Amino acid sequence: MWKLLISVRSLVLAALVVLFSATTLDAQSNDPVDIAEEYLSQGEVEKARDQFEKLAKSRQYIPRIHDSYFSLLLSEKDFDEAEKYLKSVLKQMDGSFRYAIDMGVLYRSMGENERASKYLDDLIDDIVKTEDANLRRNNVSILAQMFFQKDFRDKAIRTYQKGREAFGNSDQFALDLATVYRVMNEKENMITEYLRFSKSQPRNVGFVKNSLQRYLTEPEDMDTLEIVLYDFIQEEAGNPIFNELLVWTHLQQKNFSAALRQARALDRRMANNGQNILEVGMIAFENDDFKSASQAFGYIMSDFPDSPNQRLALRYSLLAEEEVIKTTYPVDKDAVRNLIVKYNQYKEESRDIFSAMEAQRRVALLQAFQLNEVDTAIATLQDLVSQPVGKHRVLAEAKMDLADIYLLDQQPWESILLYGQVERMFKDEPLGYTAKLKSAKLSYFKGEFELAQSHLDILKLATSREIANDALDLSILIKNNTVFDTTDVVMQSYANVELMIFQNHQEEALVAMDSMLVAYEDHSISDEVLYLKAQTLRELGRFDDALASLKIINEKYYYDILGDDALFLTGLILEQDLNKPQEAMTIYSDLLTKFQGSIYVAEARSRFRELRGDFNN
């Protein structure tokens, strides 16, 4: 019985399928255009062609059959019939330029490019003569887009340009032209049109910046942008939008000194209280160009005494000055003491308790790590962390500073307790992650590599990019140098050296590093030791010795992970410490050639151009 029911059900379903198919076919057969398309899809070209030919005689079918029928005639190279068809269509459709363009397509397919060009030029000339301005604008846009779709890009450009002439507006259709030039990879013309668009639509300058950032992918593209911008600045001296874009361009290239010069001129001209200077200064500070940042904040304080940004500029001026002092080797102790005086003055003048606490923090760190006044620094921070301010960022940072100084003073257990307090207080927050990273580093110093790795594995996944990168770097260092050394002797030796440097025992660290380079000459850690040695020698002002250490990496380990780091540091020492700009330029040029994927490429290129004098004017 079940078999019988299944058979009956199958018959019913089959009948429904047949009925549905028949209905569909019948519906299709009622539409002559569908019949022609069906013939074409089935490969029955002659039947399709006959059907299209019949339909082409009726105006109502032309919009639906045109693309398929015209393409079919071209594919069969029946150019005579195609021309006959197009002439008939143009007559029936009142010369619609949708079909007129295809006459150019036909001539191009026939190899008659000059004939095609003249025909299409005449079409363009007719369109731009349209009397009604709105209709003319609409027709120009539609015609140019059709040219673009039909791969007549030069005609699309000509259409927009002729449209400009007709409207007497050199900025008309700028965004459309920028798109065409972008597809054609004509970067300079694309840039020009984007700048024209920003001139006519200054509120959309953000869109222009995003577009330029997206499409200018090569270093030389930004050079071209600079050149074009300078031309616009000369031609449009009264328009500040191009000066603003030039500042932005320099910032993209990390040319902060050049950006600052432009921003200063722009702010003087616009009388906006140094806002552009402040933005450049903040970006320079975030990118570790502390000299440019310090200059920027100084300009705000001197050039704009009534600016509401005075207090902010003063704060960051002190922070930038501190970084300049700490990275000018050997560190000038008198400069440190003068800076402490400035911080104390800032603290006394602060109306905000947290700004005062921040200044107190900076003083304590300078006392401990730069002047070796550890007891004074500890007393300063102990007073700070006792403030009843609750859960606050400055308090947490002060606790971590105090922990760092306890480690400096060889009191690691005190450090562990304080790092733990901050980690618990700011669980799953950036400050908590920072405390956890410091705890991991302390475990590393103590030789507890597995414990350190357990912290680092969490930090690599759950933190900000900066902390994650630091965690990853330390994790890789540990893994690479313990995987084949079950005793961890080499890794412990290196960790001991890093701790010595942290505790300001640089001379002892140098002796230990020299011993490591002899004892573990062929170990994978050798380039790490050489690089750390170079950094330490630089901090002590022994620049030639630092270069000698880096030279070994550049010659023997250039292929390893620190190859680009060593080359870049070589350039910095030559430029900043030894004042040898030509030699530094050679090094930066080598880095750009040998390490094109390096994180230092942008800064190396910027420094090279600065030394070459590209931004002097």
Question: What share of residues in the chain are helix, strand, coil (percent, to 5)?
Answer: 80, 0, 20
- Residue 284 domain-assigned (yes or no): no
Q: Does residue 358 contact residue 346 with C-beta atoms inside 8 Å?
A: no
Q: What is the DSSP secondary structure assignment for residue 422, as one 8-state letter?
A: H
What does the pLDDT look like over 209-260, one tens digit per residue?
999 999 999 888 999 999 999 999 999 988 999 999 999 999 998 999 999 9
Residue 234 lies in a domain: no
Report CA Rg, the chain. Answer: 36
* 376 located within any domain: no
Give the residue numbers spanning the domain of 603. Answer: 498-612
The runs of H, that is alpha helices, within 327-429 are 333-349, 353-369, 374-385, 393-408, 412-425
Overall average pLDDT of the 515-535 stretch = 94
As for how many domains the chain has, the answer is 1
Longest alpha-carbon distance in the chain: 106
pTM: predicted TM-score of the whole model, two decimal places:
0.83
Contact present, 70 and 85 (Cβ < 8 Å):
yes
Does position 115 have pLDDT exceeding 90, yes or no?
yes
**C-alpha–C-alpha distance, residues 357 and 510, integer Å:** 36
- 3 state SS of 327: coil
The residue type of 368 is A
In-domain check, residue 397: no
Task: Give φ, ψ of 477 to 5 degrees.
Answer: -60, -45
Q: Does any domain span residue 516?
A: yes
- The 10s digit of each residue's pLDDT in 340-373 is 999 999 999 998 889 999 999 999 999 999 999 9
* Domain at 558, CATH number: 1.25.40.10
Tell whether 404 is covered by a domain: no
Residues 214, 237: Cα–Cα separation, whole Å: 27
Establish if 69 belongs to a structural domain: no
The DSSP result for 48-116, as a single string, is HHHHHHHHTTSGGGHHHHHHHHHHHHHHTT-HHHHHHHHHHHHHHTTT-HHHHHHHHHHHHHTT-HHHH
- φ/ψ of residue 30, rounded to 5: -80, -15
Position 555, amino acid? E
Mean confidence (pLDDT) of the chain: 91
Q: Kindly list the distances between the CA atom of residue 333 and the CA atoms of 141, 387, 504, 534, 547, in Å, as whole numbers in the listed order.
A: 68, 30, 14, 22, 24
Q: What is the pLDDT of residue 29?
A: 56
Q: 């001139």: which residue's tokens?
A: 199
The pair of three-digit structure tokens given for residue 570, joined into one six-digit string: 């070589």
Is the separation of the CB atoms in 137 and 143 below 8 Å? Answer: no
Say what the pLDDT of residue 194 is: 98
- The answer to whether residue 540 sits within a structural domain is yes
Contact 481, 491 (CB under 8 A): yes
What's the pLDDT band for 26 if we cut at 50, 70, 90? very low
| % of the chain beyond a pLDDT of 70 | 94
Confidence tier at 23 by pLDDT (50, 70, 90): very low
